[in-house]
Amino acid sequence: MKKAFLSMATIALFFTACNEDIQAPIQEQQIDMSDFYVYTGADDDATSKLANGKSNKKSCYTMDNLNRLLNENPALEKKMYDIEYHTRKFIATKGKPTGGGGKPGGNTGETDVDVSPVEDGMGIINIPVYIHIVYPDASVITQNQIDTQMATLNADFRDTNVDQLPSGTTFANDATDAGFSFSLSGVYRHNDPTSSWGTNDSVKYAYPPKTPETHLNIWVCNIGGGILGYAQFPGGSSSTDGVVLGGSYFGNTSGVYGLGRTATHEVGHYFNLRHIWGDGPCRYDDFVLDTPSARSSNGGCPSYPSVSCKSADMTMNYMDYTYDACMYMFTDGQRNRMRAIFQTGGARASMIGN
């Protein structure tokens, strides 16, 4: 009897050990956050931003605005860390082996890294939009500008724009349908004599966002200083959440930034995308695997390839600073990153279903 008992115990131990071996591969993955940062050197570029008229580079003030908010609210850094952890965990859990994350350690020397789109089961995510027009005469922003801006957002985030990648690029397989649509919920026109609103969110305080938990709010005004626009990253105060755009760069207007791509760029920030060069030299990163490292932003309409950090820059990406006609793609890695914040527990999950 004792011998039989020992035999049964041995068999039980064997199956327990086997079961542990089976379970081991599906234990929760470790999420590497060692390369994460929030503060950037964006302020170092302030002089060139203010001299936009003498430069061929877009003037986005989002990272400068983020640095200001971090200084004003020390708790924001931890909140953004938690959002990043959730994003990376979602991509690591749902993605395939090549499915996302950052480029730890900065430049990898790769010119084309493939990332698989995460199958999140969410389909097309609709984003309802409120537009606040704030000018001495708010009618200066036409209905055509509103209509063309909404059309551009929908085309760019669904990858249905008519632009084509330049001949010879290795990035053709990276352009993707990010799976977002945008619907106009309302337009508010405010006749306000203020001539310039700056980048300290004063226009948002004067005209607060409407239900920012469920709607994207866009303010159109004269920002001043040659600034085209700025956005707030996920994690900031709901009282200032949204995107601010200069009226000259809203919808179809004239000039090299007149195709509505400033809004596409700034909504990318609102969806948690960094600038494609990581706002620093080669060792800095945008936390997206299939966007190659770059030394700095690109302006104008560069020919392919424009090379830095030992690899071709993805100058045609919406998160660079090139002219509107020369930017026309998000990548699968950027898609995965944007959609992560709409998952359960994500920073913008409350927008789903509205």
Neighbours of 106 (CB within 10 A): 16
Residue whose C-alpha is closest to residue 294's, from 303, 304, 302, 306: 306
Q: What is the pTM of this model?
A: 0.87
Grade residue 164 by pLDDT with cuts at 50, 70 and 90. low
Residue whose C-alpha is closest to residue 247's, from 261, 228, 234: 228
CB 334 within 8 A of CB 268: yes
Q: Which two tokens stand for residue 99?
A: 């499915």
Tell whether the model's pLDDT for residue 167 goes beyond 80: no
For the segment 200-217, the average pLDDT, to the nearest whole number, is 98
Tell whether the model's pLDDT for residue 143 goes beyond 50: yes
- What per-residue confidence (pLDDT) applies to 27? 44
- What per-residue confidence (pLDDT) applies to 55? 54
For the segment 263-272, the average pLDDT, to the nearest whole number, is 98
pLDDT in tens, 319-354: 999 999 999 999 999 999 999 999 999 999 999 976
Classify burial at 112, counting beta carbons within 10 Å of its beta carbon; exposed 0-12, middle 13-18, buried 19 or more.
Answer: middle
Backbone angle region of 101, left / alpha / beta, with phi > 0 → left and psi within -120 to 50 → alpha: left
Please, what's the largest Cα pairwise distance for the chain? 96
Higher pLDDT, 154 or 41: 154
Residues 175 and 157: their CA atoms lie apart, in Å, by 11
Show the domains of the chain with their CATH numbers: 39-101+125-351 (3.40.390.10)
- What per-residue confidence (pLDDT) applies to 237? 98
> Residue 245 phi/psi, 5° resolution?
-130, 140
From 2-11, 70-79, 193-202, 244-253, the region with the lowest mean pLDDT: 2-11
CB 159 within 8 A of CB 329: yes
- What per-residue confidence (pLDDT) applies to 142? 98
> Residue 303 phi/psi, 5° resolution?
-80, 155
What's the distance, CA 242 to chain centroid?
13
Tell whether the model's pLDDT for residue 47 goes beyond 80: no
Residue 266 appears among annotated catalytic residues:
yes
- What per-residue confidence (pLDDT) applies to 40? 87
CB 65 within 8 A of CB 230: yes
Which amino acid is residue 83, in one-letter code?
A: I
- What per-residue confidence (pLDDT) applies to 166? 66
pLDDT in tens, 87-116: 999 999 887 543 334 443 333 444 567 899
The alpha helices in 177-260, defined as continuous H runs, are 202-206
Q: Which two tokens stand for residue 131?
A: 């537009």
- What per-residue confidence (pLDDT) applies to 29? 66
- What per-residue confidence (pLDDT) applies to 42? 61
Full strand arrangement of the beta sheet holding 229-231: 180-191, 125-135, 216-221, 243-246, 229-231
Residues 53 and 47: their CA atoms lie apart, in Å, by 12
Residue 102: partners with Cβ closer than 8 Å, 6 or more residues away: 35, 36, 88, 285, 286, 287, 288, 289
Which of 19-33, 108-122, 275-289 holds the top average pLDDT? 275-289
For the segment 303-318, the average pLDDT, to the nearest whole number, is 92
- What per-residue confidence (pLDDT) applies to 169? 75
- What per-residue confidence (pLDDT) applies to 78? 97
Per the listing, tokens 């359960």 go with 344
| End-to-end Cα separation, the chain, in angstroms | 67
Q: Which two tokens stand for residue 184?
A: 């106009």
CB 174 within 8 A of CB 318: no
Measured at the CA of 348, the angle between CA 344 and CA 351, to 5 degrees, comes to: 90
pLDDT over 70 percentage in the chain: 80
Classify burial at 105, counting beta carbons within 10 Å of its beta carbon; exposed 0-12, middle 13-18, buried 19 or more.
Answer: exposed
Quickly list DSSP for 3-40: HHHHHHHHHHHHHHHHHHHHHGGGSPPP---TT-----
Tell whether the model's pLDDT for residue 172 goes beyond 80: no
> Residue 331 in 3-state DSSP?
strand
For the segment 178-199, the average pLDDT, to the nearest whole number, is 98
Catalytic entry in 110, 119, 213, 266: 266
Grade residue 161 by pLDDT with cuts at 50, 70 and 90. confident
Residues 340 and 347: their CA atoms lie apart, in Å, by 9
Grade residue 124 by pLDDT with cuts at 50, 70 and 90. very high
- What per-residue confidence (pLDDT) applies to 28? 57
